[in-house]
Amino acid sequence: MIKANIEKEYKVLITKEEYDRIIDNYHLSPKRQINYYYNSDKKGIALRTRYVDDRYLFTLKDKNKEFPDEYEFEIRDNTLDDPRIIEIFDHFQIIKVSYIGELITDRSIIAMKYGEICIDHSYYLNTEDYEIEYELYDANTGDRSELVSFLKTNNIADIDNKHGKFYRFANLINNNKL
């Protein structure tokens, strides 16, 4: 079985103006990534494939914990027939998977000492939002302090957002019954 990483990340929704200011002040060039999201028959499991840098990545996040286990690896193409994916599905007893849609993110990354700050502009279902994600390199080292400092330096309110892109995307689908 592929080893899981413990994902420790923090999210803050920001305004378009705050996003534009950060992009300009740090001279960032966002890179486009396309996320393909899937539902499964298991509660608390987030599934996606991502196309970025001319390659595909598969990700499963087990969100049944405070800091989710994350399984992520490169795959050949945008299908779920890779033997490693099948092994993970067997491990979680996932029987049914259905494609729910696509979310595009323009992402810029700022490397910090204990983690990376991702500045995201996402597009999905006629919606746009802006977010800062801070993901620790090692879940056992560091805390939110680098993020707090970054937010303070950039005059952005530190309002932790517990819901990531997958949740916002799926919630919009469910509310609109698409």
Could you report the per-residue pLDDT of 150-166, keeping only the tens digit for each?
A: 999 999 998 766 677 77
How far apart are the C-alpha atoms of 34 and 52, rounded to whole Å? 7
Q: Is the pLDDT of residue 48 over 60?
A: yes
Instruction: Give the domain extent around 24.
Output: 5-176
Residue 67 sits in a domain whose CATH number is 2.40.320.10
Say whether pLDDT at 167 is over 90. no
Conformational region of residue 142, where left means phi above 0, alpha means psi within -120 to 50, and beta covers everything else: left
pLDDT above 50 for 178:
no
pTM comes to 0.87
Q: How does pLDDT run across 51-94, given as a tens digit for each residue?
A: 999 999 999 999 887 778 899 999 999 999 999 999 999 999 99
Residue pair 154/22 in contact (Cβ under 8 Å)? The answer is yes
High-pLDDT (> 70) share of the chain, %? 97
pLDDT digit string, tens, across residues 88-126:
999 999 999 999 999 999 999 999 999 999 999 999 888
The closest alpha carbon to 79, from 31, 113, 47, 111, belongs to: 47
pLDDT at 177 over 80: no
Q: Count how many domains the chain has.
A: 1
Report phi then psi at 141, rounded to 5. Answer: -125, 130
Give the distance, in angstroms, between the CA of residue 93 and the centroid of all CA atoms in the same chain: 23
